[in-house]
Homo-oligomer: A and B are copies of this chain.
């Protein structure tokens, strides 16, 4: 087909409008934020990378195998997970040469055209690895060799990349059962990189989680509390939250199927908890339990100051066969319609007006931006809107987020960007996209005379740097 590899370039004006008036404004705004350090208050990198500082293995193991947003697209077009060497639920893996797996990917890279994955990957290829030819069947081996070799050098170890990426702070996410030894190792190592944790208690909060019984038992062991009684269970949370806060956490994170909250009496909550720990909870009772725990978490946040994040509305592991053979997180998470106005009322009736309390809301249901979330955040002092999330953090999704939350929520009830990723190398690319989209969005407002450029120049720094630090109470 192609006789010579096509050049790979990152245009300096990418994502800015092609209208010259808007583009010129966007450029000036971007100059305010391009070099700002990255604040990453919510993500899923592995703290052991920074604790151990070991080299990554090869292109396939780094960029393909762990990223289910990349391999899901290949899978959707008929590539088997075994052809890529994705680990199975039983821990086994098909014997696949990583170079071959990379070829499967490279020869289908056109499937990603126009998607955020292609944008992030090209950014990584170009800026992190210095590649200047487009990925394709013809350049597959070139890529594999070039990347794999680079990874063996000191400049491509995790801490070196962290510094090169100009990351001021990154938050990881851990279960209450995690001993946080990697975070301790990082602190003790003398390395200056700031890697903090976040408290994500889903395994001990969701009775429908397959690990719940075991997780609850270990929760008791770790804390020494009687976690089979409601008051002991709550004390165990308080203890682990304090432990996480001491390890730098400033936030908690809750990934529920819905946004339901509840405000049961103590006696009701005890009865419900008793049903849950006996493994007798119906689906409705499990939902009510998760709802009640959210309100308890809010109460604890008032005391310990941890900022609360709620990420609802995903049907996890929707593909039954894939889940059985390959386990969780294989690209089969599908968003659900989500309701907030009635769901959050019990929690907001108690804590919605507390100035000490900060709840950051996310959604996978964009129809709630203008209808529910922006009006809620534009009223309640405790509510803030997390950025366009997960399936929606593409340029179009980020634009819709701004366009649909601005009128009722303004800019100052939002909290800047979350990269929310385990794809460490893509973090600069993701923040670059988010900053460019905010610049492009503000450039349009300036070009249409809805805001003066000096206001936009201040705002764009708020969005990229000041608001996330404030919203997440980062030092």
A37-45, A143-151, A288-296, A373-381: which lies at the interface: A373-381
Query: Are B15 and A449 within 8 A (Cβ)?
Result: yes
Q: Contact check: which of B19, B77, B337, B370 meets A397 at CB < 8 Å?
A: B370
Query: Are B110 and A455 within 8 A (Cβ)?
Result: yes
Q: Interface 1/0s, chain A 383-401, versus B by CB < 8 A?
A: 1000000011011110000
Q: Contact check: which of B336, B366, B412, B450 meets A77 at CB < 8 Å?
A: B412
* Residues of chain B with a CB closer than 8 A to A355's CB: 78
Query: How far, in angstroms, from A371 to B115 measured CA to CA in the complex?
Result: 16
Interface residues of A in 399-432 (CB under 8 A from B): 403-404, 406-408, 410-413
* Residues of chain B with a CB closer than 8 A to A342's CB: 315
Query: How far, in angstroms, from A34 to B229 measured CA to CA in the complex?
Result: 70
Query: Are B111 and A410 within 8 A (Cβ)?
Result: yes
Query: Does chain B have a CB within 8 A of A364?
Result: yes
Query: Are B335 and A450 within 8 A (Cβ)?
Result: no
Query: How far, in angstroms, from A248 to B325 measured CA to CA in the complex?
Result: 38
Query: How far, in angstroms, from A411 to B112 measured CA to CA in the complex?
Result: 8
Q: Contact check: which of B75, B336, B381, B458 meets A78 at CB < 8 Å?
A: B381
Residue contacts A-B, CB under 8 angstroms, 27 given? A15-B449, A73-B378, A75-B381, A78-B381, A111-B410, A112-B410, A114-B406, A116-B407, A134-B452, A318-B345, A318-B348, A318-B379, A320-B345, A320-B349, A321-B349, A321-B352, A322-B353, A333-B375, A334-B341, A334-B379, A335-B371, A367-B371, A370-B391, A371-B391, A392-B407, A396-B403, A397-B407
Give the interface of A toward B (CB within 8 A): 6, 10-11, 13-19, 21-22, 72-73, 75-78, 110-116, 119, 134, 315, 318-322, 331-337, 339, 341-342, 345, 348-349, 352-353, 355, 364-367, 370-372, 374-381, 383, 391-392, 394-397, 403-404, 406-408, 410-413, 442, 444-445, 447-452, 454-455, 458-459
